[in-house]
Amino acid sequence: MSDPHRHDRHHRHPRHDEPTPPHGRWHRLAHRLTPHSHESADKLDPALESSARGLRALWVSLAVLGATAMAQAAVVVASGSVALLGDTVHNTADALTAVPLGVAFVLGRRAATRRFTYGYGRAEDLAGVVIVLTIAASAVLAAWTAVDRLFDPRPVAHLPAVAVAALAGFAGNEWVARYRIRVGREIGSAALVADGLHARTDGFTSLAVLLSASGAALGWRLADPVVGLAITAAITLVLRDAAREVFRRLMDAVDPALVDRAERVLGQVPGVRGVGELRLRWIGHRLRAEVALVVDGEVTVRRAHRIAVEAEHALLHAVPRLTAALVHADPAPTPGETDPHLALAHHAGA
């Protein structure tokens, strides 16, 4: 059951079986002309829980990757492997991305204010930008080191230790990748999924370091810098995928399947004759909807309000991670009458 204090932040809806107060007709008319907004506590509580799950995933993965990077760094100092250095730098950068993303999750839990009326969920998207920039910086550093060693090759010492460090890097990164991607998809966090993809590529670059150690053991002096360049190429591919994911989120892109589901659910609500404008947007890892419904122009204001409420509830229960919906009911135009939305658009264009 929804919390009545959260049912609407701006006004309280009367029960439909209560007697209408003396000013009820004017109130109903004003309410009819005002879009209906509803925030369900049943949706907000899971949203807060999703932020907590995201934070937990970040700190656990930070601990795992931090331990892996420290072990690899010790081997880098002893062996001088640039391939392992590139992998260590990438692992360290991946671990540190938990910091801005964790700050974003904490900010996203703060209540909306009169200045930030949609809350602070967009901080998560900004953290995604920081992650992309971090991946780009690690790619530049790995490329610079590999090219320098390509022109000035040096022997790699302690090859067995390099091989063990590479296997440890793969195991740690793959575990973190699975964990982050799973939690990110469950809570709808594009930034956390991008971070998980970043960790997965780190795992494969660790396996590339193993190839570098094998090549060096066979006497190929250029194996280490060549594998370092291959690692740089792999980081670049991850950069492309992560940048695309974050860019789409910044541009309010949503999965078209979610729009199809919302339209299908709204069309099944009794009294809805059509779905006009339907917009979905991500605010952090939460969805928000705005929709204009078409209802029979002869229904009463009270009935139109009931249809809007039913449509709103249907959306909140059918669309995953949707925490707020703004529903407006428009009367179906009679023959010869202009659609009010089209008339407003024409007036604005004039």
According to DSSP, the residues that pair with 3 across neighbouring strands are none
CB of 288 closer than 8 Å to CB of 322: yes
According to DSSP, the residues that pair with 36 across neighbouring strands are 327
Condensed to tens digits (0 to 9), the pLDDT of residues 183-241 reads 888 877 777 887 787 777 777 777 777 777 777 777 777 777 787 788 788 778 878 88
Tokens of 231: 């690692």
- pLDDT given for residue 30 in this prediction: 37
- pLDDT given for residue 341 in this prediction: 52
According to DSSP, the residues that pair with 274 across neighbouring strands are 294
Residues 84-113: what's their mean pLDDT? 77
**Measured between alpha carbons, how far is 124 from 276 in angstroms, rounded to an integer?**
30
**Measured between alpha carbons, how far is 167 from 210 in angstroms, rounded to an integer?**
7
Query: Which CATH architecture group holds 254-349?
Result: 2-Layer Sandwich (3.30)
**Measured between alpha carbons, how far is 61 from 51 in angstroms, rounded to an integer?**
15
Position 121 pLDDT exceeds 50: yes
Condensed to tens digits (0 to 9), the pLDDT of residues 300-337 reads 888 999 999 999 999 999 998 888 899 988 888 776 55
In 3D space, the residue among 196, 210, 120, 110 whose CA is nearest the CA of residue 160 turns out to be: 210
Q: Is 260 exposed, middle or buried (0-12, 13-18, 19+ CB in 10 A)?
A: exposed
Residues 53-67: what's their mean pLDDT? 82
Q: Which of 26-30, 133-137, 151-155 has the highest mean pLDDT?
A: 133-137
Collect all residues with Cβ–Cβ distance below 8 Å to 151 and sequence separation of at least 6.
none
- pLDDT given for residue 42 in this prediction: 38
- pLDDT given for residue 336 in this prediction: 58
Tokens of 323: 């925490």
pLDDT band at 8 (very low <50, low <70, confident <90, very high): very low
Position 47 pLDDT exceeds 50: no
Domain boundaries, the chain: 43-250, 254-349
Q: 3-state DSSP call for residue 210?
A: helix
Name the least confident of 118-122, 124-128, 219-223, 282-286. Answer: 219-223
Q: Is 247 exposed, middle or buried (0-12, 13-18, 19+ CB in 10 A)?
A: middle
Q: Of 16 and 260, which is predicted with more confidence?
A: 260
For the chain, give the mean pLDDT: 75
Other CB atoms within a 10 A radius of the CB of residue 274 amount to: 13
Tokens of 296: 């029979």
Q: Calculate helix-pair angle for 190-217, 98-108, nearest 10 degrees.
A: 170
Domain 43-250 CATH assignment equals 1.10.150.120: no
Q: Which of 50-54, 228-232, 254-258 has the highest mean pLDDT?
A: 254-258
* φ, ψ dihedrals at 68, nearest 5°: -65, -45
- Percent of the residues in the chain that have a pLDDT greater than 90, as a whole number: 13
Q: Are strands 322-331 and 286-295 parallel, antiparallel or unpaired?
A: parallel
Strands (E), the chain: 36-39, 272-283, 286-295, 322-331
Q: Which residues of 48-85 are buried (b: 16+ CB within 10 A; e: fewer)?
A: eebbebbbebbebbbebbbebbebbbebbeebbbbbbb
Collect all residues with Cβ–Cβ distance below 8 Å to 275 and sequence separation of at least 6.
263, 266, 267, 291, 292, 293, 294
Name the least confident of 109-113, 156-160, 164-168. Answer: 156-160
Condensed to tens digits (0 to 9), the pLDDT of residues 65-96 reads 888 888 888 888 887 777 677 777 767 777 77
Position 129 pLDDT exceeds 50: yes
CB of 331 closer than 8 Å to CB of 301: no
**Measured between alpha carbons, how far is 61 from 69 in angstroms, rounded to an integer?**
12
Question: What is the side-by-side strand order in the sheet with 286-295?
Answer: 36-39, 322-331, 286-295, 272-283
End-to-end CA distance of the chain: 47
pLDDT band at 276 (very low <50, low <70, confident <90, very high): confident
Position 153 pLDDT exceeds 80: no
pLDDT band at 343 (very low <50, low <70, confident <90, very high): very low
